[in-house]
Amino acid sequence: MSAHEIDYRIIGEEMQCVEIQLDPAESVVAEAGSFMMMDQDIQMETIFGDGSRGNGMMGKLMGAGKRLLTGESLFMTVFTNEGRYRQNVTFASPYPGKIIPLDLQLLGGKIICQKDSFLCSAKGNSIGIEFQRKLGVGFFGGEGFIMQKIEGDGWAFVHSGGLVIERTLNPGEVLRLDTGCLVAMTAGIDYDIEFVKGVKSALFGGEGLFFATLRGPGKVWVQSLPFSRMADRVLSAATFGRKDEGSILGGLGNLFER
């Protein structure tokens, strides 16, 4: 294996964290802002790129440029056990949901996921971007033309909102879902966008104008509460305020205030 062989355990239910157990000289790479706590012999270092092996300076520059396209930082953080005994480092998900452990060695060596879903990974895996070649997916897929990809043969961890459901699709089997509910998929999945049929369904159905259409073979991870949906609900509730709760007019009462 080129990636470090780490062990882990996931703690919690609604607000989860993942505890990574590192043997001496083992390392884990994490996205900025995901760190929670670590043992005394864990050393933290900020690096340029993702720390994957075999990348020269040009490869690191290209990787950093690609990360800029996804809105991520040019730098990542590596946590290394420099002690003589096993040590732990823990990372937390940024909002309520589930942490999904992915063994890349058993998943074809590549996972495509939402551009903000990556949490941490064994050092040696490569974290990059995946361009969507279909115009429909790029314009209407909810994630734009760019998604994240994680390649390698070690463990990687992504987070989802709410409950996560894993589906295995047979060759030719199709799954339709809301464009924001896709968390991750294996490289063999054909990802496309389908227009909602029927004028009434499109305009008044409340589910948007497009479905994400996933065609097997491969595995798909689906989240029940996309962050964008949760943010919209919070913003909507904050706009009206608590004084409108239980009122017959609700938010319409604000129209008559001076």
Give every CB contact of residue 19 below 8 A, 6+ residues apart in sequence: 8, 9, 10, 11, 88, 89, 90
Q: Is 175 exposed, middle or buried (0-12, 13-18, 19+ CB in 10 A)?
A: middle
Residue 132 has pLDDT above 80, yes or no: no
User: What number is the average pLDDT over the span 119-130?
Assistant: 89
| d(C-alpha 37, C-alpha 60), whole Å | 28
To the nearest whole percent, how much of the chain has pLDDT over 90? 44
The tokens describing 126, both together, are: 């490569």
For the segment 4-30, what is each residue's pLDDT rounded down to a tens digit?
A: 899 999 999 888 999 999 999 999 999
So what's the pLDDT on residue 112? 93
Phi-psi region of 46 (alpha: psi -120 to 50; beta: other; left: phi over 0): beta
- Angle at CA 148, nearest 5°, toward 142 and 150? 150
Q: How far is CA 9 from CA 12, 17, 28, 206, 223, in A?
A: 10, 9, 14, 39, 21
Residue 154 CA to residue 136 CA, distance in Å, equals 33
Q: In degrees, to the nearest 5, what angle opens at C-alpha 169 toward C-alphas 167 and 170?
A: 150
C-beta of residue 132 within 8 angstroms of C-beta of residue 174? no
Q: How far apart are the first and last CA of the chain?
A: 68
Averaged pLDDT of the chain? 79
Q: What is the pLDDT of residues 155-185, one digit of tens each?
A: 999 999 989 999 999 999 999 988 888 999 9
